[in-house]
Amino acid sequence: MLRTTAAPQPLGVAMIGYAFMGKAHSNAWRNVGSYYDVPAFEQKVLVGRDAAQVAEAAAKYGWAESATDWRSVISRDDIDIVDICAPGWMHAEIAIAALEAGKHVLVEKPFANTLAEAELMTAAAAAARARGIRSMIGFNYRRVPALALARELISEGRLGTLRHIRAAYLQDWLADAESPMTWRLRKETAGSGALGDIASHAVDQIQYLTGQTVLEASGVLRTFVARRPGPDGLEDVTVDDAAWATFWLTGEMGASVEASRVATGKKNSLRIEVYGTDGALTFDLENLNELNFLDATVPVREQGFRRILVNEPEHPYMDAWWPQGHIIGWEHTFTHQIRDFLAAIGAGEPPTPSFEDGLQVQRVLAAVEESAKNKSTLTVVDSVALVVEGA
């Protein structure tokens, strides 16, 4: 349960998982207080399965101690926040237990491995919310200043009536057929491949930027490399390498998503294009400080995309960082995410994106997977209203 004392105490933070996302989140926890005015907190404990490795990571990333039993950690009275960076198959069990123990919870995407798990997590979050317990899912690209600015411009009506949006998230780390097996290539541990791993970001961005909800989905999934080398020889890949989907949204707008982990030459390219009656926007994560905007209300002879370097103090999140023209990086999105999460806890307000938002994305992903299996177009049933307020 939440600690109550006469004098406010720093929030105790425990993080579960210390690999890729654990490193990114640790960097954010370590730095957020140096740039933003946030409630006081302490990096109490880092949790992982390998005692020696997690102890080494804890010392490197600024955690006071390490542990291997997450259940004992979330039962501690000095822990107020649980940050879940473990693989997806562990999200539901840890998040539900932490919420029931009265801890605020931040969980990395993909939200869960299955729709059933996502529904259980959302129900637990709703019950905890009634007791003042906050929860949030880590779609960190909402905290890219250029994308936050894009959402502001769209909500201000600068693009007019939205017609369609395209999103393509392309990587090439699996383009080599000899790349070894990992847990991310097994359905029982990853849930899905490119669909859940990176298309989830694209789906969230489509709904976040537009404020609209996906109603219908059709999709295709492909696995180009069916077997990969493992420690005991070749193993079957049981998830997709690439995914394609088309959507119809609540505002009579169409959308398309492409996601691939075998797109040779693309390292981490999330390309987003939004088209409306009065203008258009384009963005690419490989140039994350830039947003391209076309104003279609000016005379045709003056029209053309113009580059906005999103680096001014007036831009979202940027007043905390460097003088104009000094760009920020991918890691800053996690710092912004922790800032928003702590600010919501301090204000006693629900943070965004909520578990309900995560559930909605999970429903869309499940519809794409079912559509690909049955070669059909599906209605995304029980779509929930999105909470898309800016930070």
Q: What superfamily does domain 11-140 belong to in CATH?
A: NAD(P)-binding Rossmann-like Domain (3.40.50.720)
Instruction: Decide if 33 contacts 2 (C-beta within 8 A).
Output: no
- H helix intervals, 16-90: 20-35, 51-61, 70-74
In 242-357, the DSSP E strands lie at 242-249, 254-260, 269-276, 279-284, 290-295, 306-309
Q: How many other CB atoms sit within 10 Å of the CB of residue 368? A: 31
Q: Crossing angle for the helix pair 355-374 and 115-129, nearest 10 degrees?
A: 170
Tell me which residue of 209, 108, 211, 212 sits closest to 167, measured CA to CA.
209
Which two three-digit tokens encode residue 73? 């950690």
What integer is the mean pLDDT of 356-376? 95
The burial class, CB within 10 Å (0-12 / 13-18 / 19+), for 180 is: exposed
Within the chain, all domains assigned CATH 3.40.50.720 are found at 11-140
Domain 144-324+355-379: CATH class, spelled out: alpha beta
Give the range among 205-209, 258-262, 300-304, 387-391 with minimum mean pLDDT. Answer: 387-391
Instruction: Decide if 294 contacts 306 (C-beta within 8 A).
Output: yes
Look over the chain and give the mean of its residue pLDDT values, rounded to a whole number: 94
- Judged against a pLDDT cut of 80, whether residue 383 lies above it is answered with no
What would the pLDDT profile of 83-103 be if each residue is shown by its tens digit? 999 999 999 999 999 999 999
Q: What is the pTM of this model?
A: 0.93
Tell me which residue of 77, 100, 74, 101 sits closest to 86, measured CA to CA.
74
What would the pLDDT profile of 107-128 be if each residue is shown by its tens digit? 999 899 999 999 999 999 999 9
